[in-house]
């Protein structure tokens, strides 16, 4: 609770996100063997199964689990990024500070989402990428925006590469860690109270992954941010910076609480925990479920769910209710998230196009040649069109379809 009090003082609008009885079900196509056995082309599959929990300001919360456990699906549900297509069904409640329902407007106002794959304009420098984001998201003066961008660059340790182009997959410039920090910086310019990240350490070596986890830990503790991230199998040094963990298996929540208590919990559930092991390595092995499920997998899930219901679920619900946060000062129900005016958006998009034309002249030349070729083909189609002012329907159709034979005749 001391961390919570410090977070409230450090953050302008401290945000707690909580979810209750979240279920997500989709329709999947069956294999030929399953179709033969059941006589049906599709079957219903539950991805997230009755999950409840919370993430509080000042605390870095990580959702862990083996592949297919449902951790990314849960993160997407919490950020309102799930597309309900193909007869998908979503139920449950997700709210900010126990009162504000999650939607695209409220999420854009108080939260940010950093995707696993860095989608950045490759020809921008780090400074230009953060400035571009600030111009589109903020309505303060340009001087204040520039000061904020410089401050974020220094805090993220990007000052030495601020004038380097970001680069792309085919043209490497920045390292993986620098690209990831740039992606985080692009979101930080709007000063979000909640930051969600999908696999922020994916593709990084253990040292860079540790630096990203330390950065997120500092954002939570020093800035009062609420951090929620999915992660697959971090190193033991990276795990040191975890405050809370949510462990998932087969769509169920199997543990939720302090990271330091997680191994003791599994020992209490009669799991054999090796000495001096990397906790994440143990979790991947303990929570691994083979598909199709075998009898030992079913028994393991039953044991984990039974222990969670009796030891963790009620305690977690009590802790969630004890954390009371007021509504943000600038919250107005139904009000859209703020953004720059249309004139500023057009100006910034034109500036980005100009940067592309300057730093990638081959693309500009290709576009110019493409335009000239299209003009060369279209000019004969509409040349001296007034000759056919009294033509019949067939002539018009031939002209519209660019029939050169009819044109020459």
- pLDDT of 400 > 60? The answer is no
- Maximum Cα interatomic distance, the chain, rounded to a whole number of Å: 92
Looking at the structure, tell me whether residues 59 and 160 fall in a common domain: yes
Average pLDDT, the chain: 84
Task: Decide which of 197 and 32 is more confident.
Answer: 197
Looking at the structure, tell me whether residues 280 and 403 fall in a common domain: no
Pairing, β 89-96 against β 100-101: antiparallel
Q: Give, to the nearest 10 degrees, the angle between helix 206-223 and helix 176-188.
A: 20
Looking at the structure, tell me whether residues 282 and 399 fall in a common domain: no
Looking at the structure, tell me whether residues 104 and 178 fall in a common domain: yes
Instruction: Tell me the per-residue pLDDT of 301-359, one tens digit each, with 9 for 90 and over.
Output: 898 999 998 888 888 888 888 888 888 776 666 555 557 788 888 999 999 988 888 88
Structural domain contains residue 77 = yes
pTM: 0.84
CB 137 within 8 A of CB 109: no
Assess whether the previous peptide bond of 207 is cis (omega < 30° from 0). Answer: no
- pLDDT of 9 > 80? The answer is no
Looking at the structure, tell me whether residues 369 and 230 fall in a common domain: no
CA distance 231 to 299: 26
Looking at the structure, tell me whether residues 305 and 368 fall in a common domain: no
Task: Decide which of 46 and 328 is more confident.
Answer: 46
- pLDDT of 235 > 80? The answer is yes
Q: Taking residues 170-182, what's their average pLDDT?
A: 85
Q: In what order do the strands lie in the sheet with 89-96?
A: 42-55, 17-29, 89-96, 100-101
- pLDDT of 71 > 50? The answer is yes
Residue 218: give the domain boundaries.
2-345
Structural domain contains residue 354 = no
Looking at the structure, tell me whether residues 334 and 375 fall in a common domain: no
CA distance 19 to 41: 33
Spell out the residues 6+ positions from residue 244 whose beta carbon is closer than 8 angstroms to its own: 55, 59, 60, 61, 62, 256, 257, 258, 259
For position 407, what pLDDT does the model report?
45
Interior/surface letters 10-31, b for 16+ CB within 10 angstroms, e for the rest: bbebbbbbbbeebbbbbeeebe
CB 42 within 8 A of CB 27: yes
The SS3 call for residue 332 is: coil
Looking at the structure, tell me whether residues 122 and 248 fall in a common domain: yes
207: CATH: 3.40.50.300
Instruction: Tell me the per-residue pLDDT of 251-280, one tens digit each, with 9 for 90 and over.
Output: 899 999 999 899 999 988 888 888 888 888
- pLDDT of 395 > 70? The answer is no
Looking at the structure, tell me whether residues 229 and 372 fall in a common domain: no
For residue 91, count other CB atoms closer than 10 A to its CB. 11
Structural domain contains residue 353 = no
Looking at the structure, tell me whether residues 391 and 318 fall in a common domain: no
Question: Of the ranges 6-20, 89-103, 168-182, which is most confident?
Answer: 89-103
Among candidate residues 345, 369, 399, the one where a domain is terminated: 345
For position 390, what pLDDT does the model report?
53
Looking at the structure, tell me whether residues 335 and 384 fall in a common domain: no
- pLDDT of 56 > 60? The answer is yes
Instruction: Tell me the per-residue pLDDT of 102-122, one tens digit each, with 9 for 90 and over.
Output: 888 888 888 999 988 778 888
Pairing, β 252-258 against β 194-198: unpaired
Q: Give, to the nearest 10 degrees, the angle between helix 126-137 and helix 176-188.
A: 20
């Amino acid at each position: 609770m001391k961390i919570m009090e410090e977070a409230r003082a450090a953050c302008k609008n401290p945000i707690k996100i909580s979810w209750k009885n979240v279920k997500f079900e989709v329709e999947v196509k069956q294999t030929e063997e399953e179709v033969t056995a059941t006589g049906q082309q599709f079957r219903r599959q539950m991805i997230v199964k009755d999950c409840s929990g919370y993430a509080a300001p000042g605390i870095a919360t990580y959702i862990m689990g083996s592949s297919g456990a449902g951790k990314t699906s849960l993160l997407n549900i919490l950020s309102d990024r799930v597309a309900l297509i193909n007869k998908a069904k979503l139920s449950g409640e997700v709210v900010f500070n126990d009162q504000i329902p999650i939607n695209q407007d409220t999420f854009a106002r108080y939260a940010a989402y950093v995707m696993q794959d860095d989608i950045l304009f490759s020809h921008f420098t780090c400074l230009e990428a953060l400035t571009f984001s600030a111009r589109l998201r903020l309505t303060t003066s340009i001087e204040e925006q520039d000061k904020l961008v410089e401050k974020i660059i220094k805090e993220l340790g990007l000052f030495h590469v601020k004038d380097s182009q970001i680069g792309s997959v085919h043209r490497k410039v920045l390292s993986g860690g620098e690209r990831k920090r740039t992606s985080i910086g692009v979101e930080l310019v709007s000063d979000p109270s909640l930051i969600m990240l999908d696999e922020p350490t994916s593709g990084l070596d253990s040292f860079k992954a540790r630096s990203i986890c330390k950065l997120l830990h500092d954002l939570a503790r020093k800035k009062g941010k609420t951090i929620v991230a999915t992660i697959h199998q971090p190193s033991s040094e990276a795990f040191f910076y975890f405050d809370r963990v949510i462990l998932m298996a087969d769509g169920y929540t199997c543990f939720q609480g302090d990271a330091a208590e997680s191994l003791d919990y599994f020992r209490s559930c009669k799991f054999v925990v090796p000495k001096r092991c990397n906790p994440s390595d143990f979790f991947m092995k303990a929570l691994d479920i083979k598909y199709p499920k075998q009898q030992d997998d079913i028994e393991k899930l039953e044991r984990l769910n039974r222990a969670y219901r009796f030891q963790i679920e009620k305690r977690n619900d009590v802790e969630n209710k004890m954390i009371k946060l007021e509504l943000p000062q600038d919250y107005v129900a139904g009000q859209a998230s703020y953004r720059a005016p249309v004139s500023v958006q057009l100006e910034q998009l034109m500036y980005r196009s100009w940067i592309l034309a300057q730093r990638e002249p081959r693309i500009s030349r290709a576009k110019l040649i493409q335009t000239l070729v299209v003009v060369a083909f279209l000019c004969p189609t509409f040349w001296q069109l007034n000759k056919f002012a009294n033509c019949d329907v067939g002539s018009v159709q031939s002209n519209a379809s660019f029939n050169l034979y009819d044109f020459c005749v």
